Structure 1
Amino acid sequence: MSKSSNSDKILVVDDSPDNVFLIKTILEEEGYTVSTAENGASALAQIETSACDLVLLDLMMPGIDGYEVTKRIRQNMALPFIPILLITAHDSPNVAQGLDLGADDFIRKPVTVDELLARVRSLLRLKHSIDERDEIARQRQDFVSRLTHDLRTPLVAADRMLLLFQEGALGNLSDQMQEVIEIMARSNSNLLAMVNTLLEVYRFEAGRKTLAFQPVNVSQLLEEVSEELSSLAAQKELAVNLHLGEDSGISKVMGDRLELHRLFTNLIGNAIKFTDTGSVTIRITPATASDEHITVEVADTGPGIPAEEQATLFERFRQGSHKSSGSGLGLYLSRRIVEAHQGTILMNSEVGKGSVFTVRLPIKQ
């Protein structure tokens, strides 16, 4: 037998001391680091306090059996992926239940050395492959997050310098120069918005986004966002209709005001951006005793969204076919914000008749 050159840690869980001794001896002979547990409760406690790379788990144990241990391991989202190899007697019930609960493989007693080691090596390869994949994903997220964060500094500086030029702080500009500066400022602003969106997306995906929940008046927030975007609508001669619903309903939710502001700025901004003629209508339906959700609809009279694009509209980097389509991150980020508030976002659209985006937010978390 060839000695293992790694330091993989294996937890053997079995209520039979003889079985534990046999398996422990075989694995240690191969160079693995082996710890043991005599019951399910002890195994779960060890897994939560000490990392391991593989669990060899007896199915039939008194108290917490192997099925329950498997179920609890897979339900604990704080744990990294740990392969589970079930150990079962010839006369034990079918192991299909254990596999359905999340186990990765099984071996029958009495175990043979070659089969045991082959299955252990196979599951450890799986563990190492998944760990490597996750590490690459984390490194990619860190790189993009740091890159976008670093990009913001020169973009913000350029934005302020261009503003100084526009305000004449550095001398009077000719009409031609003023026009050029305005184009540069607009392009820089668009790029900064894209970088900010990308940064927020990766914060959500990396689990580094912390929301500050507080009571948020959605009606006031929609008024604020509509006012901020009114100049964009005026440039296109679009009417912005705001219907705030009846005063008798509840128009406050527990949410992160900054993120909800980002959400509705994105939805209303998109409605204005993709609508050339007509109007944009924002309608809020307050929560009631029978429905503890606030519903916000953002409807436009734009070109509508083709059916083939609707299924993937809220996925990352999914750009529409419209000439004004952006990075494909805005609606994806909107969905992440809504989901972080335990809400839902839906879209209904028909080509030539516009689109309606509907957000439902619970008033309680």
Structure 2
Amino acid sequence: MDGTQFLKGDILIVDDTPDNLRLLSTMLIEQGYEVRSVTNGSTALMGIQAQPPDLILLDINMPGMNGYEVCQRLKANSKTESIPVIFISALNEVFDKVKAFTVGGVDYITKPFQVEEVLVRVENQLIICRLQAQLLKALQQERQLNQQIEAMATLEERHRIARDIHDSLGHALVALNIQMETALTLWQINPEQAYEFLQEAKQLGSDALKAVRQSVSEIRSDPLQGQLLEKAIATLTQEFYRTTGIPPECQIDLSYPLSNQVNTVVYRIVQESLTNICKYASATRVQIQIQTTAEGLLLVIQDNGKGMSIDSSGYGFGLQGMRERTANVGGQLEITSEPGAGCRITARFSRLAV
């Protein structure tokens, strides 16, 4: 391998058959992976402790300590529990798939090896690891930004910028997490569909990282990016449907023009509401009504989720942000909810504000 070639990942192969080690090592090294090989479980555990790999290919039937036992020990150790393990088994061997996944395996490969299958299964698991690392990095950067925000001189400015960061990143990060969870759920029953979810999650992860880096510089920009409100709301609802499978029922009638300020507030309320529903509501139905009249504008967002207890001192940061935004343009916002009875958010803006 050319020394300048990019190493795609560090892989440890554990197999007591030298021919298998040579075959797997060769095919993976040719694809740009860094590969280590050992022939028994105890040696593998020592090597993993000293230098944790990105992925482990683990033979099940080995003398002394079998693959199940090795995997159980890895998952019982906080330092190694997150390392993905792909089991290796021959077609003529007894392979307990249920046990393999119960002890912590993420996939399996059968002998004789098919090069294309090995490479696809290895890369898919590494993609999942990279996405998880991206999500963690995004969350860490968001925390760092929030810490910087809290260090600013004025409390009002601090809260305003924190709210904008929350609005712009919350939905993307929730969507990314849902895509990854769906992919992991589908992995064994429909790998092709799971791979599609992973590709979408990868794009969402890239978008979230980009948003984190740009959030401070773009904090005062127009969130609609010059779009009409109807189109911007349609984009939010499409993304919500893509990540939750729930198609919001939308009734939008903007017969009267709105000011840019009210457009922004309406957009932010819908965005925050959908994010909260996605994260907390466990809803199966969502309704959005936006209607302008000669008297002003009415916005209603309602879901049939698990609801919550409402009191004057119990509003979360997102709901409090809705109230502040609405009040800043002279509107009124009402939140009606009870445990088990869904949630209804109603915002009214007078004609003067609109």
- Structure 1 and Structure 2 fold alike (TM over 0.5): no
> TM-score of the superposition, structure 1-length normalised?
0.42
Larger radius of gyration: 1
